[in-house]
Amino acid sequence: MDAIADSAGTPVYIYSAATIRSHLRRLTEAFAAVKPLVCFSVKSCGNLSILRLIAGEGAGMDVVSGGELARSLKAGVPASKCVFAGVGKTDAELEQALRAGIGLLNVESEAEFENLAAIARRLGIRCDCALRINPDVDPRTHRYTTTGKKESKFGVDLERARAFFDRYGRGEFARLRGVHLHIGSPVYTVDPYVQSVRKALALKEDLERAGFTIDALDLGGGFGADYTTGQTPPVRDYAAAIVPLLEPHCRRGLRLFLEPGRTIVGNAGILLTRVLYMKQSGEKRFAICDAGMQTLLRPSHYEAFHFIWPAAPAPAFVPASREKEPAMAGLSPCDVVGPICETGDFLALDRMLPPLSRGDLVAVFTAGAYGMSMASRYNSSPLPAEVLVDGDRFELIRRRESYDDLMAHELPMLEHAPAAPPQARTALRH
């Protein structure tokens, strides 16, 4: 850790190539009987080197923006191995996806489909589409990441899905031939997936009886990651419950898509930060670090737990597992906070931790997913570096931003712009 911190500085995201490969291979092997196209969720971790690593294992990409599609293509992934979801695709993004030859375009509303169909017809490009449905299943996760309930902004409810196909399912250019669902993330039990798959397959069979061809099923992602040790079932447990439902359909030609994100990269990454100051205020102990909500938003935004521990603990403080309340003598409560001018700027509150001192390196675990991808430049904080460890080597895969980087895209200062006409200046004064 010291060598990486000395080379790349802090805060820095550190990823393990071996862990990424292992997680991806386990998932692929668990679902091998139904031969899915595994499309990695780019929104979880979009670094080009990470995408190239995952693509090298044969995976496609799940994208939700034109920028993520551009990243995937830059990483060498053909558009035909990409699925494009998202509730608010722009005309430019739809045209970009069509021209690139997107593999599957997931639509989420009648208005979006009508727009897509018009653009596809204008361009003379045919594409395969899937309708995103809300199976109205509670994944029992955070309200901000629950996406499959009837009241969600995503997709359409099951009652409207049949009417949707009746109206649009015979289009010439935007060919509606699949069903897509994504119930939320992280989902720590298998049962919500079983319920959702059963509902999706029932819809598929109903549509096929009505004469529609349904040869694509996108189950989304959302499988959990271990923020605490043993928190989520092994991926083989998800597969053991889901695969038997899908096998008969896949034998008849159904193409299956999966969109894993955090289950691949969550525990493959840590955030390394340095303690700037220790502070006592009344009964409260604070560790003020150089990483905060601008570096890792999840604790503040989702009330999410990340295990935090000194990177080089004394022998008496080596934890046996990642727990919310470690059973260990010598710990005391501490708020781990960042440098941002917000009370909500924290990585952990009232966390039982060993003694910490200025200059100590602290590791924030399970930070590979929705860490760097949600980082911001708030308070004009340059984005952190990213490092990939592969075997006994590590490589800088994103350099730390400079102050010049922060301002590189801004327009010239107003005093150098042409003066406003007198009437405009008068209007501004009023």
Q: Which string of DSSP letters, residue by residue, matches 228-247?
A: STT-S--HHHHHHHHHHHHH
Q: Which string of DSSP letters, residue by residue, matches 385-422?
A: EEEEEETTEEEEEEPPPPHHHHHTTPPPPGGGSPPPPH
- 341 annotated active-site: yes
Q: Where do we find the tokens 């340095």?
A: 274
Q: Which two tokens stand for residue 99?
A: 């021209």
Total-model pTM: 0.92
The pLDDT value recorded for residue 184 is 81
Helix (H, G, I), strand (E, B) or coil at 226: coil
Q: Supply the CATH classification number for the domain 267-407.
A: 2.40.37.10
- List per-residue pLDDT tens for the chain, 430 residues long: 899 999 999 999 999 999 999 999 999 999 999 999 999 999 999 999 999 999 999 999 999 999 999 999 999 999 999 999 999 999 999 999 999 999 999 999 999 999 999 999 999 999 999 999 988 876 555 454 444 444 666 789 888 999 999 999 999 999 999 999 988 878 899 999 999 999 999 999 999 999 999 999 999 998 999 999 999 999 999 999 999 999 999 999 999 999 999 999 999 999 999 999 999 999 899 999 999 999 999 999 999 999 999 999 999 999 999 999 999 999 999 999 999 999 999 999 999 999 999 999 999 999 999 999 999 999 999 999 999 999 999 999 999 999 999 999 998 776 555 665 666 444 444 4
**Beta strand segments in 254-357, E:** 255-258, 269-281, 284-289, 308-310, 332-337, 346-353
Number of helices followed by number of strands (H, E) in the chain: 13, 18
Helices 66-74 and 48-55 pack at an angle, to 10 degrees, of: 60
Torsion, Cα of 17, 18, 20, 21 (10° steps) = 120
Q: Where do we find the tokens 């260990």?
A: 328
Label residues 357-385 b or e (16+ Cβ within 10 Å = b).
eeebbbbbbbbbbbbbbbbeeeeebebbb
Q: Which two tokens stand for residue 210?
A: 């009505």
* Residue 62 near residue 303, CB atoms below 8 Å: no
Cα end-to-end span (Å), the chain: 58
Q: Where do we find the tokens 């700037």?
A: 276
pLDDT tens, position by position, 54-76: 999 999 999 999 999 999 999 99
Label residues 120-150 b or e (16+ Cβ within 10 Å = b).
beeeebebbbbbbbbbbbebebeeebbbbbe
The pLDDT value recorded for residue 141 is 52
* Residue 23 near residue 263, CB atoms below 8 Å: yes
What is the architecture of the domain spanning 86-258?
A: Alpha-Beta Barrel (3.20)
The pLDDT value recorded for residue 132 is 95
CA neighbor of 257 nearest in space, from 22, 31, 24, 21: 31
* Residues sharing a CB contact under 8 Å with residue 291, sequence separation 6 or more, in sequence order: 10, 11, 271, 273, 338, 347, 364, 384
The pLDDT value recorded for residue 137 is 79
Q: Domain spans of the chain? A: 86-258, 267-407
pLDDT tens, position by position, 213-271: 999 999 999 899 999 999 999 999 999 999 999 999 999 999 999 999 999 999 999 99
The pLDDT value recorded for residue 420 is 58
Q: In whole angstroms, what is the distance from residue 165 CA to residue 49 CA?
A: 40
Q: What amino acid is encoded at 37 in this protein?
A: L
Pick the catalytic residue from 82, 289, 334, 341.
341
